[in-house]
Structure 1
Amino acid sequence: MILRFKKIIMAIIKNTFICLGFLFSIMIILSFTTLPFWMYYQLGVSHKIIKSNPNYIIVLGGGGIPSESGLMRTYKASNISKKYPDAEIIIALPGDITDTSSSVNLMRDEIISRGIDSSKIILEPIGLNTRMQALQISKLIDVKSNILIITSPEHMYRSIRVFETLGMENTIGESAFESAIESILEYEDYELGGTKYIPNIGNNTQLRYQFWNHFKYQIIVYREYLAIAYYKLKGWI
């Protein structure tokens, strides 16, 4: 009986490693294509069009301040706010609003530092995830208002669907996409000296950057797919 149990466990472990190896191989292959970028891009694009200007710009908190997601979202929020000066800004990030060093206050300060009037900013410091943040925001505003969400690209599809499920149907989004550097990052290795026997990859930006970026996109996208599946099972979207 014990021997049979061990065989079953070993078979499960073996099959698990085979599946993981297969998945890893697929990710490696896809990293040499543009598909991972388009998977990432599609999650971040809001296809709905609302003709009226937004009443509220909702900044969904990611990491703290400073962090990549936090700074990207506040940068995007300040630019969008200048485009729609009549819209109020709601920052949704859990934290202690009485603590001036808390991330939710630092996000507000970051937006203010970019020329946005502090009187336009409302803090929502209670929500611990996207669903809870949307629930709290639905108590603060008229759900029929025009809403523009700012968040990271991979988080946009799920965010809009969560708000729509709670009756906030006039919701669109602006993803905080990164901007690529304008310079061409190609060079000849021999011009920089160093060991001569190492392959010259100075002109191969695909291997130096694109492969790794696309591998990273896949990790981000697959994680988000799991989050979307979980939210669907919970009935939140």
Structure 2
Amino acid sequence: MLMTIRSALLLCLLAGSSAAFAIEQPKAAVHQAVTMSPGGAISLPPAPVSVLDLKPPAALYEGAVAAGVAKASASFGKIFKLGIVSGCHIGFGAYLAIAVGGACPGLAQTNPGLQKIVMGAFGLPFGLIMTLVTGGELFTGNTALVTAAKMEGKISQKALVKNWTASYVGNFVGSLILAYLAYKSGTLGVAPGATNIALAKCSVAWDVAFVRGILCNWLVCMAVYM
């Protein structure tokens, strides 16, 4: 008991000594430069600029229209090649979703909601980010941006059709290239996840698939828009 009390007193003494000898760090003073002109007018420093620059909806729409004009002004060949890149990138997103979320059959049976979250979180977001940061041409996003430019009278109908056609065909070719590479690499094995997804999509009625496509592309367009 006595040893316990002595130990406690020793710890308190050491703590007090450390606090007493601790060197307080000087606080950084914030100085604002105030200047005075020869005429006596005082000039205050500019207000700090916020790092997060949120644009109002009208400015966001104007930016989307400008992006649509830039995409429509590109040549057919450039849009087609960038479409191939985007098709591969979106394919990589699906590749990752199948490799991770599609390889959890036990989780799909016990907790299907969590399995869908895993499949969604490790899929399309990565493919879409790669497409956006590389300046690719994605048909689903172009249907929003280039259409907005056409509705505002900034581009012609011919330019709209050119962009849609080149990006759609390019995305299709890119997805086929990625699918072939995934098949030849053997990284998906027998790919039960990919097979089940393909069979499920092909068994859906046409009108159901059409409505699901609208909902899916709505979210993709919002991601590109923002």
TM-score when scaled to structure 1?
Answer: 0.24
More helix, by proportion: 2
